[in-house]
Amino acid sequence: MSAETNKRPTNNNGYIWIVAAFVLLVFGGFVISEATPLLFPTQGSAESRQVDDLFKFMLVIGGAIFLLVQGLLVYSVIRFRAKPGDTSDGPPIHGNATLELVWTAIPSVIVLVLVIYSYNVWISNTAAKDNEQVVQGIGRRFAWSFTYEVPETAIPDDVSVSDLSPTVQTQLEAKNSFTITSNELHTYVGRPVKVLLNTEDNQHAFWIPAMRIKQDLLAGRTTEARFTPIEAGNYPIVCAELCGDGHGAMRAEIVVHPDEETYLAWFNDTANTVFYPPEDPVERGRQILASGAYPCSGCHTLSDLGWQGVTGPNLNGVGDRADSVRAAATGETPEEYLHRSIYFPSEYLVPGFGALMPQFQPDDPGAPNYMPIEDHIAIVAYLCTQTSTGESVCDLDNLNQIAGQ
Ligand code: CUA
Protein backbone atom coordinates (compact mmCIF):
# COMPACT_ATOMS: atom_id res chain seq x y z
CA MET A 1 0.00 0.00 0.00
CA SER A 2 1.42 3.36 -0.89
CA ALA A 3 1.27 6.37 1.36
CA GLU A 4 -1.39 7.94 -0.87
CA THR A 5 -3.99 5.22 -0.28
CA ASN A 6 -3.74 5.62 3.47
CA LYS A 7 -4.53 9.31 3.23
CA ARG A 8 -7.96 8.72 1.69
CA PRO A 9 -10.76 10.16 3.91
CA THR A 10 -12.24 7.45 6.09
CA ASN A 11 -13.80 9.46 8.90
CA ASN A 12 -16.77 11.85 9.32
CA ASN A 13 -14.66 14.67 7.97
CA GLY A 14 -14.67 12.77 4.63
CA TYR A 15 -18.47 12.70 4.44
CA ILE A 16 -18.64 16.46 4.96
CA TRP A 17 -16.32 16.82 1.96
CA ILE A 18 -18.53 14.53 -0.11
CA VAL A 19 -21.67 16.53 0.75
CA ALA A 20 -19.89 19.79 0.01
CA ALA A 21 -18.66 18.47 -3.34
CA PHE A 22 -22.20 17.28 -4.19
CA VAL A 23 -23.70 20.70 -3.43
CA LEU A 24 -21.01 22.38 -5.51
CA LEU A 25 -21.53 20.01 -8.46
CA VAL A 26 -25.31 20.55 -8.48
CA PHE A 27 -24.76 24.30 -8.29
CA GLY A 28 -22.33 24.07 -11.24
CA GLY A 29 -24.87 21.98 -13.20
CA PHE A 30 -27.50 24.58 -12.42
CA VAL A 31 -25.29 27.41 -13.73
CA ILE A 32 -24.65 25.43 -16.96
CA SER A 33 -28.38 24.73 -17.40
CA GLU A 34 -29.28 28.39 -16.97
CA ALA A 35 -26.51 29.74 -19.21
CA THR A 36 -26.79 27.36 -22.18
CA PRO A 37 -30.38 28.29 -23.22
CA LEU A 38 -29.21 31.91 -23.67
CA LEU A 39 -27.84 30.63 -27.01
CA PHE A 40 -31.22 29.22 -28.09
CA PRO A 41 -33.52 30.81 -30.72
CA THR A 42 -36.76 32.54 -29.64
CA GLN A 43 -39.30 30.41 -27.79
CA GLY A 44 -41.80 30.67 -30.64
CA SER A 45 -44.35 28.07 -29.57
CA ALA A 46 -46.16 26.97 -26.41
CA GLU A 47 -44.35 23.65 -26.79
CA SER A 48 -40.94 25.30 -26.83
CA ARG A 49 -41.24 26.19 -23.12
CA GLN A 50 -41.84 22.58 -22.11
CA VAL A 51 -39.03 21.36 -24.36
CA ASP A 52 -36.62 23.94 -22.95
CA ASP A 53 -37.58 23.11 -19.36
CA LEU A 54 -36.91 19.44 -20.03
CA PHE A 55 -33.61 20.32 -21.68
CA LYS A 56 -32.60 22.51 -18.71
CA PHE A 57 -33.43 19.68 -16.30
CA MET A 58 -31.20 17.33 -18.31
CA LEU A 59 -28.46 19.97 -18.37
CA VAL A 60 -28.43 20.24 -14.54
CA ILE A 61 -27.79 16.49 -14.33
CA GLY A 62 -25.45 16.34 -17.33
CA GLY A 63 -23.59 19.46 -16.17
CA ALA A 64 -23.06 18.07 -12.64
CA ILE A 65 -21.78 14.74 -14.05
CA PHE A 66 -19.52 16.59 -16.47
CA LEU A 67 -18.02 18.64 -13.63
CA LEU A 68 -17.67 15.52 -11.45
CA VAL A 69 -15.81 13.54 -14.12
CA GLN A 70 -13.59 16.43 -15.24
CA GLY A 71 -13.00 17.47 -11.61
CA LEU A 72 -11.88 13.96 -10.58
CA LEU A 73 -9.69 13.76 -13.66
CA VAL A 74 -7.91 17.03 -12.91
CA TYR A 75 -7.68 16.17 -9.18
CA SER A 76 -6.16 12.73 -9.97
CA VAL A 77 -3.66 14.11 -12.44
CA ILE A 78 -2.33 16.49 -9.80
CA ARG A 79 -2.79 14.45 -6.62
CA PHE A 80 -1.59 11.02 -7.83
CA ARG A 81 1.13 12.01 -10.25
CA ALA A 82 4.40 10.00 -9.97
CA LYS A 83 7.21 11.64 -8.05
CA PRO A 84 10.37 12.21 -10.09
CA GLY A 85 12.28 8.95 -10.26
CA ASP A 86 9.34 6.82 -9.03
CA THR A 87 9.03 3.96 -11.56
CA SER A 88 7.10 1.56 -9.33
CA ASP A 89 3.60 0.25 -10.17
CA GLY A 90 0.48 1.76 -8.67
CA PRO A 91 -1.46 -0.12 -5.96
CA PRO A 92 -3.32 -3.24 -7.28
CA ILE A 93 -7.00 -2.37 -6.71
CA HIS A 94 -9.74 -4.93 -7.46
CA GLY A 95 -13.55 -4.62 -7.62
CA ASN A 96 -15.53 -2.60 -5.10
CA ALA A 97 -19.10 -3.92 -4.79
CA THR A 98 -20.45 -0.83 -2.98
CA LEU A 99 -19.05 1.53 -5.58
CA GLU A 100 -20.44 -0.54 -8.47
CA LEU A 101 -23.87 -0.70 -6.85
CA VAL A 102 -23.89 3.07 -6.36
CA TRP A 103 -22.81 3.89 -9.91
CA THR A 104 -25.44 1.54 -11.33
CA ALA A 105 -28.30 2.61 -9.05
CA ILE A 106 -27.88 6.40 -9.43
CA PRO A 107 -27.92 6.46 -13.29
CA SER A 108 -30.86 4.00 -13.29
CA VAL A 109 -32.92 6.38 -11.16
CA ILE A 110 -31.86 9.36 -13.30
CA VAL A 111 -32.80 7.57 -16.55
CA LEU A 112 -36.16 6.48 -15.11
CA VAL A 113 -37.01 10.03 -14.02
CA LEU A 114 -36.02 11.36 -17.48
CA VAL A 115 -38.11 8.71 -19.24
CA ILE A 116 -41.23 9.68 -17.29
CA TYR A 117 -40.61 13.43 -17.65
CA SER A 118 -39.86 13.38 -21.41
CA TYR A 119 -42.69 10.96 -22.15
CA ASN A 120 -45.12 13.42 -20.53
CA VAL A 121 -43.73 16.34 -22.55
CA TRP A 122 -43.92 14.31 -25.76
CA ILE A 123 -47.52 13.21 -25.09
CA SER A 124 -48.59 16.76 -24.28
CA ASN A 125 -46.83 18.32 -27.33
CA THR A 126 -48.06 15.79 -29.89
CA ALA A 127 -51.67 15.60 -28.61
CA ALA A 128 -54.41 16.83 -30.96
CA LYS A 129 -55.56 20.36 -30.06
CA ASP A 130 -58.94 21.98 -30.56
CA ASN A 131 -59.49 24.01 -33.74
CA GLU A 132 -56.24 23.03 -35.44
CA GLN A 133 -55.15 24.77 -38.63
CA VAL A 134 -54.24 21.97 -41.03
CA VAL A 135 -51.48 22.62 -43.57
CA GLN A 136 -49.92 20.17 -46.01
CA GLY A 137 -46.14 20.39 -46.05
CA ILE A 138 -44.27 18.92 -48.98
CA GLY A 139 -40.53 18.33 -49.05
CA ARG A 140 -38.78 17.83 -52.37
CA ARG A 141 -35.15 18.03 -53.35
CA PHE A 142 -34.41 20.83 -52.42
CA ALA A 143 -37.35 23.02 -51.46
CA TRP A 144 -40.38 23.16 -49.17
CA SER A 145 -43.92 24.03 -50.16
CA PHE A 146 -47.08 24.38 -48.12
CA THR A 147 -50.64 24.03 -49.34
CA TYR A 148 -53.85 25.28 -47.75
CA GLU A 149 -57.41 24.18 -48.48
CA VAL A 150 -59.82 26.78 -49.84
CA PRO A 151 -63.50 25.73 -49.69
CA GLU A 152 -65.67 26.13 -52.79
CA THR A 153 -67.85 28.57 -50.78
CA ALA A 154 -64.93 31.04 -50.72
CA ILE A 155 -65.16 31.61 -54.49
CA PRO A 156 -66.38 35.21 -55.02
CA ASP A 157 -69.72 35.74 -56.85
CA ASP A 158 -68.05 37.49 -59.79
CA VAL A 159 -65.80 34.48 -60.48
CA SER A 160 -67.12 31.68 -62.65
CA VAL A 161 -65.71 28.22 -61.92
CA SER A 162 -65.33 27.58 -65.64
CA ASP A 163 -62.83 30.48 -65.82
CA LEU A 164 -60.56 28.97 -63.18
CA SER A 165 -57.52 26.92 -64.14
CA PRO A 166 -58.18 23.27 -65.13
CA THR A 167 -56.19 22.13 -62.07
CA VAL A 168 -58.45 24.08 -59.71
CA GLN A 169 -61.56 22.79 -61.50
CA THR A 170 -60.39 19.18 -61.18
CA GLN A 171 -59.81 19.68 -57.44
CA LEU A 172 -63.23 21.31 -56.98
CA GLU A 173 -64.94 18.39 -58.70
CA ALA A 174 -63.11 15.87 -56.53
CA LYS A 175 -63.47 17.45 -53.08
CA ASN A 176 -65.42 20.74 -53.22
CA SER A 177 -62.27 22.62 -52.35
CA PHE A 178 -58.96 23.50 -53.93
CA THR A 179 -55.49 24.26 -52.63
CA ILE A 180 -53.31 27.33 -52.69
CA THR A 181 -49.56 26.96 -52.39
CA SER A 182 -46.85 29.01 -50.73
CA ASN A 183 -43.15 28.48 -50.20
CA GLU A 184 -43.67 29.96 -46.72
CA LEU A 185 -45.62 28.44 -43.85
CA HIS A 186 -48.16 31.04 -42.71
CA THR A 187 -49.73 30.80 -39.25
CA TYR A 188 -50.79 33.19 -36.51
CA VAL A 189 -50.30 33.60 -32.78
CA GLY A 190 -52.47 31.39 -30.60
CA ARG A 191 -53.84 29.06 -33.32
CA PRO A 192 -52.65 25.44 -33.00
CA VAL A 193 -51.11 24.14 -36.25
CA LYS A 194 -50.97 20.60 -37.57
CA VAL A 195 -48.60 20.13 -40.52
CA LEU A 196 -49.15 16.93 -42.52
CA LEU A 197 -45.80 16.08 -44.06
CA ASN A 198 -45.09 14.20 -47.28
CA THR A 199 -42.02 13.77 -49.42
CA GLU A 200 -42.08 13.27 -53.15
CA ASP A 201 -38.60 11.77 -53.33
CA ASN A 202 -36.31 10.65 -50.51
CA GLN A 203 -36.29 11.31 -46.79
CA HIS A 204 -36.17 14.87 -45.40
CA ALA A 205 -36.66 16.27 -41.91
CA PHE A 206 -38.89 19.23 -41.12
CA TRP A 207 -37.22 21.30 -38.43
CA ILE A 208 -38.36 24.65 -37.01
CA PRO A 209 -35.81 25.50 -34.30
CA ALA A 210 -37.93 28.37 -32.93
CA MET A 211 -40.89 26.02 -32.47
CA ARG A 212 -38.66 23.24 -31.06
CA ILE A 213 -40.16 20.66 -33.42
CA LYS A 214 -38.45 18.24 -35.77
CA GLN A 215 -40.20 15.54 -37.75
CA ASP A 216 -38.94 13.18 -40.46
CA LEU A 217 -40.65 12.99 -43.86
CA LEU A 218 -40.91 9.37 -44.97
CA ALA A 219 -41.57 8.18 -48.51
CA GLY A 220 -45.04 6.69 -48.89
CA ARG A 221 -46.20 7.82 -45.45
CA THR A 222 -47.76 10.96 -44.00
CA THR A 223 -46.19 12.20 -40.78
CA GLU A 224 -47.41 15.01 -38.52
CA ALA A 225 -45.89 17.95 -36.69
CA ARG A 226 -47.88 20.01 -34.18
CA PHE A 227 -47.20 23.32 -32.48
CA THR A 228 -48.97 26.44 -31.26
CA PRO A 229 -47.18 29.70 -32.17
CA ILE A 230 -47.01 32.25 -29.32
CA GLU A 231 -44.63 34.86 -30.75
CA ALA A 232 -45.19 36.74 -34.02
CA GLY A 233 -42.26 36.88 -36.43
CA ASN A 234 -40.43 35.10 -39.25
CA TYR A 235 -38.36 32.06 -38.35
CA PRO A 236 -36.30 29.62 -40.42
CA ILE A 237 -37.50 26.17 -41.46
CA VAL A 238 -34.56 23.84 -42.06
CA CYS A 239 -34.15 20.40 -43.60
CA ALA A 240 -32.36 18.33 -40.97
CA GLU A 241 -31.78 15.13 -42.95
CA LEU A 242 -28.97 14.81 -45.49
CA CYS A 243 -31.06 14.46 -48.66
CA GLY A 244 -28.60 15.19 -51.47
CA ASP A 245 -26.13 17.83 -52.53
CA GLY A 246 -28.68 20.66 -52.23
CA HIS A 247 -29.54 19.69 -48.64
CA GLY A 248 -27.90 22.78 -47.15
CA ALA A 249 -30.05 25.03 -49.37
CA MET A 250 -33.31 23.29 -48.41
CA ARG A 251 -34.67 26.05 -46.24
CA ALA A 252 -37.89 28.00 -45.97
CA GLU A 253 -39.52 30.45 -43.61
CA ILE A 254 -42.45 30.30 -41.24
CA VAL A 255 -44.39 33.55 -40.99
CA VAL A 256 -46.26 33.84 -37.69
CA HIS A 257 -48.80 36.66 -38.12
CA PRO A 258 -49.72 38.59 -34.94
CA ASP A 259 -53.44 37.79 -35.30
CA GLU A 260 -56.05 36.05 -37.43
CA GLU A 261 -56.87 39.26 -39.31
CA THR A 262 -53.39 39.75 -40.77
CA TYR A 263 -53.19 36.02 -41.53
CA LEU A 264 -56.49 36.17 -43.43
CA ALA A 265 -55.27 39.21 -45.37
CA TRP A 266 -52.36 37.09 -46.65
CA PHE A 267 -54.64 34.11 -47.26
CA ASN A 268 -57.16 36.14 -49.27
CA ASP A 269 -54.42 37.82 -51.32
CA THR A 270 -53.04 34.40 -52.22
CA ALA A 271 -56.49 32.98 -53.03
CA ASN A 272 -57.13 36.02 -55.24
CA THR A 273 -54.18 35.09 -57.44
CA VAL A 274 -56.18 31.93 -58.24
CA PHE A 275 -59.53 33.70 -58.62
CA TYR A 276 -58.13 36.56 -60.72
CA PRO A 277 -55.06 35.18 -62.53
CA PRO A 278 -53.08 37.75 -64.54
CA GLU A 279 -53.96 37.76 -68.24
CA ASP A 280 -50.30 37.98 -69.24
CA PRO A 281 -48.75 34.48 -69.30
CA VAL A 282 -45.37 35.98 -68.31
CA GLU A 283 -46.92 37.48 -65.14
CA ARG A 284 -48.74 34.22 -64.46
CA GLY A 285 -45.56 32.19 -64.85
CA ARG A 286 -43.70 34.46 -62.45
CA GLN A 287 -46.53 34.09 -59.92
CA ILE A 288 -46.55 30.29 -60.19
CA LEU A 289 -42.79 30.03 -59.69
CA ALA A 290 -42.84 32.54 -56.82
CA SER A 291 -45.56 30.54 -55.05
CA GLY A 292 -43.22 27.58 -54.61
CA ALA A 293 -45.72 25.23 -56.27
CA TYR A 294 -42.70 23.59 -57.93
CA PRO A 295 -39.41 22.99 -56.09
CA CYS A 296 -37.23 24.92 -58.59
CA SER A 297 -35.84 27.37 -55.98
CA GLY A 298 -33.91 24.61 -54.20
CA CYS A 299 -31.65 23.98 -57.19
CA HIS A 300 -31.60 27.11 -59.35
CA THR A 301 -30.43 30.67 -58.86
CA LEU A 302 -32.82 33.34 -60.15
CA SER A 303 -32.34 36.83 -58.76
CA ASP A 304 -35.78 38.06 -59.86
CA LEU A 305 -37.37 35.59 -57.39
CA GLY A 306 -34.60 35.55 -54.79
CA TRP A 307 -33.58 31.95 -55.54
CA GLN A 308 -30.07 30.89 -54.56
CA GLY A 309 -29.88 27.17 -55.42
CA VAL A 310 -26.64 25.91 -56.94
CA THR A 311 -27.35 22.24 -57.77
CA GLY A 312 -28.85 23.16 -61.15
CA PRO A 313 -27.92 25.70 -63.84
CA ASN A 314 -28.26 29.40 -63.01
CA LEU A 315 -31.47 30.80 -64.53
CA ASN A 316 -30.37 34.44 -64.62
CA GLY A 317 -30.27 35.27 -68.32
CA VAL A 318 -31.55 31.84 -69.33
CA GLY A 319 -33.61 33.45 -72.13
CA ASP A 320 -30.47 34.88 -73.74
CA ARG A 321 -28.68 31.53 -73.55
CA ALA A 322 -31.73 29.66 -74.91
CA ASP A 323 -31.58 32.02 -77.87
CA SER A 324 -27.83 31.71 -78.45
CA VAL A 325 -25.63 28.81 -77.23
CA ARG A 326 -28.50 26.40 -76.45
CA ALA A 327 -30.20 27.03 -79.78
CA ALA A 328 -26.90 26.31 -81.48
CA ALA A 329 -26.28 23.16 -79.41
CA THR A 330 -29.76 21.65 -79.71
CA GLY A 331 -31.05 23.07 -82.98
CA GLU A 332 -34.22 24.11 -81.14
CA THR A 333 -35.98 27.45 -80.95
CA PRO A 334 -35.76 29.12 -77.50
CA GLU A 335 -39.38 28.24 -76.63
CA GLU A 336 -38.86 24.65 -77.75
CA TYR A 337 -35.62 24.35 -75.79
CA LEU A 338 -37.17 25.71 -72.55
CA HIS A 339 -40.30 23.59 -73.06
CA ARG A 340 -38.28 20.39 -73.48
CA SER A 341 -35.92 21.29 -70.62
CA ILE A 342 -38.85 21.04 -68.18
CA TYR A 343 -40.69 18.01 -69.55
CA PHE A 344 -37.56 16.16 -70.75
CA PRO A 345 -34.76 17.57 -68.53
CA SER A 346 -32.24 14.80 -69.24
CA GLU A 347 -32.43 15.22 -73.02
CA TYR A 348 -29.94 18.08 -73.08
CA LEU A 349 -27.75 18.67 -70.01
CA VAL A 350 -26.14 22.05 -69.48
CA PRO A 351 -22.37 21.37 -69.38
CA GLY A 352 -21.19 20.80 -65.80
CA PHE A 353 -24.56 19.55 -64.49
CA GLY A 354 -25.89 16.03 -63.99
CA ALA A 355 -29.32 14.54 -64.69
CA LEU A 356 -30.82 15.48 -61.31
CA MET A 357 -33.94 17.40 -62.30
CA PRO A 358 -37.29 15.63 -61.89
CA GLN A 359 -39.10 15.00 -65.14
CA PHE A 360 -42.26 17.07 -64.93
CA GLN A 361 -45.17 15.61 -66.80
CA PRO A 362 -48.51 17.00 -67.90
CA ASP A 363 -50.91 14.06 -67.88
CA ASP A 364 -51.56 12.49 -64.48
CA PRO A 365 -52.78 14.92 -61.76
CA GLY A 366 -51.93 12.27 -59.14
CA ALA A 367 -48.29 11.95 -60.16
CA PRO A 368 -45.65 13.49 -57.89
CA ASN A 369 -44.14 15.69 -60.59
CA TYR A 370 -47.39 16.73 -62.24
CA MET A 371 -47.15 20.07 -64.02
CA PRO A 372 -50.34 20.90 -65.91
CA ILE A 373 -49.83 22.27 -69.38
CA GLU A 374 -51.25 25.72 -68.54
CA ASP A 375 -48.71 26.15 -65.70
CA HIS A 376 -45.98 24.86 -67.97
CA ILE A 377 -46.72 27.35 -70.77
CA ALA A 378 -46.81 30.27 -68.31
CA ILE A 379 -43.49 29.19 -66.72
CA VAL A 380 -41.79 28.88 -70.12
CA ALA A 381 -43.23 32.26 -71.19
CA TYR A 382 -41.73 33.81 -68.04
CA LEU A 383 -38.32 32.14 -68.47
CA CYS A 384 -38.23 33.47 -72.06
CA THR A 385 -38.11 36.99 -70.55
CA GLN A 386 -35.03 36.27 -68.40
CA THR A 387 -32.80 38.27 -70.72
CA SER A 388 -30.47 41.24 -70.37
CA THR A 389 -33.10 43.50 -71.92
CA GLY A 390 -36.14 41.91 -70.25
CA GLU A 391 -37.61 41.29 -73.72
CA SER A 392 -38.94 37.81 -74.50
CA VAL A 393 -36.88 35.75 -76.93
CA CYS A 394 -39.79 33.39 -77.65
CA ASP A 395 -42.65 33.07 -80.09
CA LEU A 396 -45.60 32.36 -77.75
CA ASP A 397 -47.89 31.13 -80.55
CA ASN A 398 -45.27 28.57 -81.46
CA LEU A 399 -44.95 27.65 -77.75
CA ASN A 400 -48.70 26.99 -77.52
CA GLN A 401 -48.48 24.86 -80.62
CA ILE A 402 -45.49 22.84 -79.35
CA ALA A 403 -47.23 22.28 -75.99
CA GLY A 404 -50.37 21.15 -77.82
CA GLN A 405 -52.67 23.97 -76.71
CU1 CUA B 1 -34.14 17.79 -47.62
CU2 CUA B 1 -32.03 17.76 -46.51
In a domain, 238, yes or no: yes
Domain shared by 141 and 227, yes or no: yes
Domain shared by 59 and 150, yes or no: no
Q: 247 in ligand 1 pocket by Cβ < 6 Å?
A: yes
Give the range among 47-61, 173-187, 278-292, 353-367 with minimum mean pLDDT. 353-367
Q: 241 in ligand 1 pocket by Cβ < 6 Å?
A: yes
Domain shared by 189 and 58, yes or no: no
Going by CA atoms, what residue is nearest to atom 1 of ligand 1? 204
Q: What is the mean pLDDT of residues 23-34?
A: 91
Final residue of a domain: which of 222, 257, 275? Answer: 275
Q: 271 in ligand 1 pocket by Cβ < 6 Å?
A: no
Q: So what's the pLDDT on residue 297?
A: 85
Q: So what's the pLDDT on residue 347?
A: 86
Give the range among 94-98, 229-233, 360-364 with minimum mean pLDDT. 360-364
Domain shared by 34 and 153, yes or no: no
Average pLDDT, the chain: 89
Domain hosting 27: range is 18-72+104-127
d(CA 82, CA 405): 89
Q: Is the pTM of this model over 0.85?
A: no
Interval between CA 26 and ligand 1 midpoint (Å) = 39
Q: What is the position in ligand 1's atom list of the atom closest to the CA of 246?
A: 2
Domain shared by 140 and 267, yes or no: yes
Dump the DSSP string for 185-232.
EEEETT--EEEEEEESSS-EEEEEGGGTEEEEE-TT--EEEEE-B-S-
Domain shared by 238 and 298, yes or no: no
Of 389, 401, 384, whose CA–CA distance to 337 is shortest? Answer: 384
Q: 149 in ligand 1 pocket by Cβ < 6 Å?
A: no
Question: What CATH number should be reported for the domain holding residue 352?
Answer: 1.10.760
Q: So what's the pLDDT on residue 396?
A: 86
Interval between CA 176 and ligand 1 midpoint (Å) = 33
Q: Is the pLDDT of residue 11 over 70?
A: no
Residue 143: strand, helix, or coil: strand
Q: So what's the pLDDT on residue 405?
A: 61
Q: So what's the pLDDT on residue 155?
A: 86
Q: Is the pLDDT of residue 308 over 90?
A: no
Interval between CA 207 and ligand 1 midpoint (Å) = 10
Q: What is the position in ligand 1's atom list of the atom closest to the CA of 247?
A: 2
Q: What is the mean pLDDT of residues 277-289?
A: 89
Q: Is the pLDDT of residue 120 over 60?
A: yes
Q: 237 in ligand 1 pocket by Cβ < 6 Å?
A: no
Q: Is the pLDDT of residue 4 over 50?
A: no
Read off the pLDDT of residues 165-219 as tens digits, 9 standing for 90 and up: 877 888 888 888 888 888 899 999 999 999 999 998 899 999 999 999 999 999 9
Q: So what's the pLDDT on residue 5?
A: 47
Q: 138 in ligand 1 pocket by Cβ < 6 Å?
A: no
